[in-house]
Amino acid sequence: MFQWLGRLTAMHPGKILFAWVALALALTCIAPDWKNQAQDDDIRFLPPDTPSLRAYQLLEQAFPKDVSASKVIFALERPDRPLSGDDFALIDRLINRIDTLRKDRPTLPMTGVASYKDGPVGKRLISRDRHCVLVPVALSSPYLALQTREAVDAAEEVLRPLLAEVPDAPSLYVTGPAGIGRDLTKASAQSLDHTTRATVILVIGVLLLVYRSPLLALIPLVTIGIAVWVSLQLIAVATLIPGVHIVNISQVFCIVILFGAGTDYCLFLISRYREELEWGQEPIPGVTRSVRAVGGALAASAATVVCGLGMMGFAEFGKIRSAGPVIALGLMVGLFASLTITPALLSLGKRTVFWPGRVRLLQRPPSQQFWQRVAKFVTDRPHAVFFATLVPLVLLAIVGLRVSTSFRPTGDLSSSSGSVQGLEIIQKHYTAGETGPITVLLVSQSDWNSPAGKELLTSLSTGFGYLPNVAEVRSLTQPLGRAMTVAEAAPPVTGKPALKDLLARARQNLGTAVGGLTVMAAEPYYLSKIDGGTSVTRIDIILNSDPFDASSIATLDLIETWLSDILPGQTTSMAPLRTETYGVTVHGRDLGKAVSRDRLRVNVLVAVGVFVILFVLVRKLWLAGYLLGTVLLSYLATLADWSTVRRHRMACAVLPVHNSCGRG
């Protein structure tokens, strides 16, 4: 097959190039806009039975005005003194300006603006020291979507000039999930630009250093440029097929992989072509022989990568499942481009592609060439070379096995990033857990606004307040929350018996934190009816720790144990009772579990798939196993080497902060 492909590209280079250009133009005409097709909703990409997804769907049904796909938070702070009346007047103007922008530009995914004037709930947006006020803006687009970046940029553009008009205005910070997503999207775009430029410079530098030919340096760039364009348009067209999804991060990975692997394929082919000319072949037969010689190796190399990417299609997490196959499709396009466009360009250029250098016939015997000497050294001392390379790789692989994974969305952002600084400001003036409360949703056929419902809510609210690491609990019966004093703090809770004792203690200390008027004002936020009368209420639990800390997950486990194992036996008036938990901590825990399961599953499938490919190629079990072992060893050693530069993270831009200070 590769003999035929090489002859076709060598004999008809103009037709090959015309066909690629025509394909690129045709796909461009029919492909939908990537921006409109990409999906980045992490919650909906989780498996259907995931607690955070069930809770999100219930929250969306019961409190549609208070749930959003993402949220940008504008934090206005005076570090040296409390905000004045003039400052609050300025904040009112800022809120009106955002609301005007939302109405004037309906294409922006803004669904609502919260204000500190919004009753009891809004008062929480003012810090206790009155040095900071938050203005949350709900968005209908996920936090990593391009539409989110557009909305955040537009809002910031209308606010900055207004602040500039006021002498000594408060400092403005743009943060929250959408602010983090905007910064991550910008960082990804900048990284992509830097990677592309670095790749181009590296390829040009290597080709100029090895071949000293500017024309030759253009061939891989033209090949990969066309391959990238065709791949992205083809992937966009594939989304027209039901069930095929793409995420924005796939675009970055596709470009990076194509530039990396595609450049290798092109250089491999060019190197073989030069060898053919050095051995006395004419350009046209040399191109044919080059494609025939390297085609199988390139196809096998691409097959292992495609196999690995394709196995990601068996993942539970939708982002992984969607990204793998589409990137594999792009790599296949890159392989085919390398085996057709590059030979066609070499055939057109003939020996001129090496200008101003010249390809001379070999004058020295092969044994005197550098790589021949290296090969002879290795084959003459196989044991020494084997152990000399094995020992450091094993040591690095041991370190690589201990590399941990983190799901912090800010893990890959600089500390000088605006959204990171904004989070620090929020955690400075508010409780750390304000950036992501744990929301408990309670569903019953009985009315939560009844005496029995309020009694149970008061009991739960008081009891949750005694849990370790809980700063405040807000509910229908105490919408402004109730901070625990040192005297009230409970001893460490480690199991069901301790939780039962804690519940009994809470019942002994039942009380109403606020008056009836405040409860009535908070009802729309804490109480809802669904499915023709089913009553739903919510309890927001604010932790002392950051939502991503391990201690937050430990507290979440206690809350879920209370709800699933103890609560059903403690109440009959509101039974049957359905409970769900939602929030950043819940989502992070669920996401970590899903990705960990996917990593194990995909790793096993990839190893089996690559082993089968290697066995088909070498036809020997021990040799296929040896080759696979070297790949795994190199992979683990690479992780260790990377961890010495920077802690290995898997932020992946996959963790939004949905419940941030205010509504939703």
3-state secondary structure (DSSP) of residue 111: strand
pLDDT tens digits, 98-132:
999 999 998 888 988 989 888 766 888 899 899 99
604 is written with which tokens? 């096993």
The predicted pLDDT at position 343 comes to: 93
pLDDT band at 206, cuts 50/70/90? confident
Strand partners, 536: 443, 528
pLDDT band at 84, cuts 50/70/90? very high
pLDDT tens digits, 319-340:
788 778 888 888 999 999 999 9
The three-point CA angle 189-68-40 to 5° equals 35
The predicted pLDDT at position 157 comes to: 94
Which range (230-234, 528-532, 641-645) has the least confidence? 641-645
Name the nearest CA neighbour of 138 among 118, 97, 100, 110: 110
**What is the pTM (predicted TM-score) of this model?**
0.74
Distances (CA, A) of 246 to 239, 278, 318, 635: 7, 46, 10, 27
Percent of the residues in the chain that have a pLDDT greater than 70, as a whole number = 83
The three-point CA angle 105-252-314 to 5° equals 105
Q: With a cut of 60, say whether residue 364 has pLDDT above it.
A: no
Q: With a cut of 60, say whether residue 153 has pLDDT above it.
A: yes
Q: With a cut of 90, say whether residue 256 has pLDDT above it.
A: no
The predicted pLDDT at position 74 comes to: 93
- Other Cβ atoms closer than 10 A to 638: 14
Provide CB contacts within 8 A for 180, sequence distance 6+: 143, 409, 410, 413, 419, 420, 423, 656, 657
| Averaged pLDDT, 485-509 | 54
Percent of the residues in the chain that have a pLDDT greater than 90, as a whole number = 20
3-state secondary structure (DSSP) of residue 648: coil
Q: What single-letter amino acid sits at 604?
A: V
| Averaged pLDDT, 579-606 | 86
| Averaged pLDDT, 488-502 | 56
| Averaged pLDDT, 581-589 | 85
Q: Report all structural domains of the chain as residue ranges with CATH numbers, in order of start.
A: 2-41+195-360+383-408+594-643 (1.20.1640.10), 65-182 (3.30.70.100), 437-582 (no CATH)
pLDDT higher for 12 or 147?
12
pLDDT band at 649, cuts 50/70/90? very low
The predicted pLDDT at position 496 comes to: 58
The predicted pLDDT at position 436 comes to: 79
Cis peptide before 220 (omega within 30 of 0): no
Average pLDDT value over all residues in the chain: 81
The predicted pLDDT at position 279 comes to: 85
Provide CB contacts within 8 A for 409, sequence distance 6+: 143, 177, 180, 181, 184, 651, 653, 654, 655, 656, 657
Q: How far apart are the C-alpha atoms of 198 and 450, rounded to whole Å?
A: 66
Name the nearest CA neighbour of 11 among 282, 389, 271, 207: 282
Task: Let me know how many helices (H) and strands (E) the chain has, helices first.
Answer: 24, 9
Q: With a cut of 50, say whether residue 656 has pLDDT above it.
A: no
**In three state form, how does the secondary structure of 545-577 look?**
CCCCCHHHHHHHHHHHHHHHHHHHHHCCCCCCE
pLDDT higher for 372 or 173?
173
pLDDT higher for 548 or 420?
420
Q: With a cut of 50, say whether residue 444 has pLDDT above it.
A: yes
Q: With a cut of 70, say whether residue 663 has pLDDT above it.
A: no
- Other Cβ atoms closer than 10 A to 532: 5
Q: With a cut of 90, say whether residue 19 has pLDDT above it.
A: yes
Q: What single-letter amino acid sits at 68?
A: S
Q: How far apart are the C-alpha atoms of 198 and 201, rounded to whole Å?
A: 5
Q: With a cut of 80, say whether residue 368 has pLDDT above it.
A: no
pLDDT tens digits, 262-311:
888 988 898 899 888 888 888 899 999 999 999 988 998 888 888 888 88
Q: With a cut of 80, say whether residue 658 has pLDDT above it.
A: no
pLDDT band at 189, cuts 50/70/90? confident
170 is written with which tokens? 């408060």
Q: With a cut of 80, say whether residue 643 has pLDDT above it.
A: no
Q: Quick one: angle between helices 2-11 and 341-349, nearest 10?
A: 40
- Other Cβ atoms closer than 10 A to 320: 22
365 is written with which tokens? 């015997």
Kind and range of the H or E element at 441? strand 438-444
| Averaged pLDDT, 461-473 | 88
